[in-house]
Structure 1
Amino acid sequence: MGSESKIHTFEEVAKHNKDKDCWLIISGKVYDVTPFMADHPGGGEVLLSATGKDGTNDFEDIGHSEDAREMMEKYYIGEIDAETVPQKRTYIPPHQMSNDPASEFFIKILQFLVPLLLLGLAISLRNYTKKEYCATLEPRPPGHNHNVSFLLGFINTTIFL
Structure 2
Amino acid sequence: MGKVFTLAEVAEHNTPKDCWLVIDGKVYDVTKFLEDHPGGDEVLLSATGKDATDDFEDVGHSSSARVQMEELYVGDIDSSTIPSKSKYTPPKQPHYNQDKTSEFIVKLLQFLVPLIILGVAVGVRFYTKSSA
User: Which of residues 36, 39, 43 is equivalent to 1:42?
Assistant: 39
The CA distance in 2 between the partners of 1:88 and 1:49, in whole Å, is 19
Instruction: Please state how far the C-alpha of 1:28 moved relative to its aligned partner.
Output: 1.0
Q: Please, which of 52, 55, 80 is the counterpart of residue 55 of structure 1?
A: 52
Q: Which runs of 5+ in 1 are unaligned?
A: 127-161
Aligned-residue Cα RMSD (Å) equals: 2.7
CA drift of 1:116 comes to 4.5
SS of aligned partner of 1:7: strand
1:65 alignment partner, one of 63, 66, 90? 63
- Describe the superposition over 1:57-82 as per-residue Cα deviations: whole angstroms up to 9, x where unpaired: 3334423233x334323322211001
What amino acid sits opposite 2:80 in the alignment? Answer: E
In the TM superposition, 1:95-134 aligns within 5 A as 95-116=92-113, 119=115
CA–CA separation in structure 2 for the residues paired with 1:99 and 1:31: 49
Deviation at 1:110, TM superposition (A): 2.2
Identity of aligned residues (%): 48
- Following the alignment from structure 1 to structure 2, what is the Cα–Cα distance between the partners of residues 23 and 101? 54
C-alpha distance in 1 between matches for 2:87 and 2:12: 25
Map 1:1-161 → 2, pairs under 5 A: 5-60=2-57, 61-66=59-64, 68-116=65-113, 119=115
Q: Give me the TM-score of the superposition, normalised by structure 2.
A: 0.69
Partner of 2:66: helix, strand, or coil?
helix
Gaps of 5+ in 2: 123-132
Q: 1:104 to 1:34 in 2, by over 3 A?
A: same
Q: Which has the higher contact order (CA 8 A, sep 6+)?
A: 2
Query: Secondary structure of 1:24's partner?
Result: strand
Answer with 1 or 2: which has the greater Rg.
1
